[in-house]
A = this chain, B = another copy of it.
Amino acid sequence: MAGKSAGDPRCRVQAAGLSTRTAAPILGGMKPTAVDEFLQLLRFPSISTSPEHRGAVAECGRWLTAKLAGMGLDAELHPTEGHPIVVARNRHQPGRRTVLIYGHYDVQPVDPVELWESPPFEPRITGDIVFARGATDNKGQIFAHVCGVEETLQRAGDLPVNLIFLIEGEEEVGSSNLEPFLQKHREALRCDVIAVSDTGMVAPGVPTLTYGLRGVAALEVRVHGPSTDLHSGIFGGAVANPLTALSRLVAGLHDDAGRVLIPGFYDAVTPLAPWEREAWGRLPIGDADMQQLTGVPALFGEAGYTSLERVWGRPTAEVNGIGGGFQGKGTKTVIGREGFAKLTFRLVPEQKPEAILEAARADLLRRAPAGVRVEVELGHYGEPYLTDPHSADGQAAQRALEKTFGRKTALIREGGSIPIINTFSRVLGADTLLLGLALPDCRAHAPNENFPLANFEAGIRLNQALLEELARGKA
Asked whether A112 lies within 8 Å of B294 as measured between CB atoms, the reply is no
> Interface 1/0s, chain A 219-242, versus B by CB < 8 A?
000001111111111111111110
Assess whether A331 is in contact with B325, with CB atoms less than 8 Å apart. no
**Interface check A22, CB cutoff 8 A:** no
Query: Does the CB pair A237–B310 fall under 8 Å?
Result: yes
A430 within 8 A of B: no
Task: Report if A24 contacts B (CB, 8 A).
Answer: no
> CB within 8 A of A296: which of B239, B323, B330?
B239
Partner of A446 from B218, B229, B296 at Cβ < 8 Å: B229
Residue-by-residue, is A363-386 near B (CB-CB < 8 Å gives 1, otherwise 0)? 000000111110000011000000
**Contact indicator A326/B321 (Cβ below 8 Å):** yes
A296 touches B226 (CB 8 A): yes
**CB <8 Å contact, B320 and A238:** no
Find the B residue at minimum CB distance from A333: B344
Q: Which of A309-341 contact B (CB under 8 A)?
A: 310-311, 314-316, 318-336, 339, 341
A295 at the interface (CB under 8 A from B): yes
Task: Check if A473 is an interface residue, CB within 8 A of chain B.
Answer: no
* Smallest Cβ-Cβ distance to A319: which chain B residue: B243
Instruction: Find out whether the CB atom of B173 lies under 8 angstroms from the CB atom of A330.
Output: yes
A332 near B325 (CB under 8 angstroms)? no
Residues of B within 8 A of A51 (CB): 329
- Contact between A239 and B294, CB atoms less than 8 A apart: yes
| A453 is an interface residue with CB less than 8 A from chain B | no
Assess whether B111 is in contact with A371, with CB atoms less than 8 Å apart.
Answer: no
Chain A interface residue count: which class? 35 or more
- 76-114 of chain A: CB within 8 A of chain B: 108-109, 111-112
Contacts of A416 in B (CB 8 A): 231, 233-234
Binary CB contact string for chain A from 408 to 422 against chain B (1 if under 8 A, 0 otherwise): 000000111100000
A371 touches B296 (CB 8 A): yes
How far does the Cβ of A352 sit from chain B's closest Cβ, in whole Å?
18
Taking a contact as CB atoms under 8 Å apart, the answer to whether B310 and A322 are in contact is no
CB distance from A331 to the nearest CB of B (A): 5
Q: In the complex, what distance in Å separates the CA atom of A234 from the CA atom of B290?
A: 10
A423 at interface by CB-CB < 8 Å: no
A370 to B379, CA, bound (A): 30
* A414 engages B247 (CB within 8 Å): no
Q: CA A343 – CA B325 in complex, angstroms? A: 11
> Is residue A180 within 8 Å, beta carbon to beta carbon, of the partner chain?
no
**A191, CB-defined interface residue at 8 Å:** no
Q: Which stretch from A7-15, A124-132, A147-155, A298-306 is at the chain B interface?
A: A298-306
Interface residues of A in 241-282 (CB under 8 A from B): 241, 243-244, 246-254, 256, 258
Q: Is A216 in the interface zone, CB < 8 Å from B?
A: yes
Which residues of the other chain, B, contact A238 by a CB distance below 8 angstroms?
290, 294, 299-301, 307-308, 310-311
Q: Does A346 contact B (CB under 8 A)?
A: yes
Question: A361 → chain B, closest Cβ, in Å?
Answer: 16
B228 touching A446, Cβ below 8 Å: yes
CB neighbours (8 Å) of A321 from chain B are: 243, 324-328, 332, 334, 336
B49 A297 Cβ-Cβ under 8 A = no
Residue A200 CB within 8 A of the other chain: yes
Cα(A157)–Cα(B429), bound, Å: 97
List B contacts of A342 (CB < 8 A): 325-327, 331-332
- Given A335-B320, A371-B299, check contact A250 B243 (CB 8 Å): yes
Min CB distance A440 to B, Å, is 8
* A471 in contact (CB, < 8 A): no
Known contacts A226-B296, A229-B446, A238-B311, then 12 further A-B pairs from the complex at CB < 8 Å, ordered by chain A residue = A50-B328, A231-B443, A231-B446, A238-B299, A238-B300, A240-B258, A243-B321, A244-B250, A244-B253, A246-B247, A322-B323, A331-B344
3 nearest CB pairs, A to B: A227-B295, A300-B371, A233-B416
Q: Can you spell out 16 A-B residue pairs with CB atoms less than 8 angstroms apart?
A: A115-B229, A216-B233, A226-B296, A232-B318, A234-B416, A237-B310, A243-B250, A243-B320, A247-B248, A247-B319, A297-B372, A320-B325, A320-B331, A321-B324, A321-B326, A327-B342
Binding site for B on A (CB under 8 A): 49-51, 108-109, 111-112, 115, 173-174, 200, 214, 216, 218, 224-241, 243-244, 246-254, 256, 258, 290, 293-302, 307-308, 310-311, 314-316, 318-336, 339, 341-342, 344, 346, 369-373, 379-380, 414-417, 440, 443-448
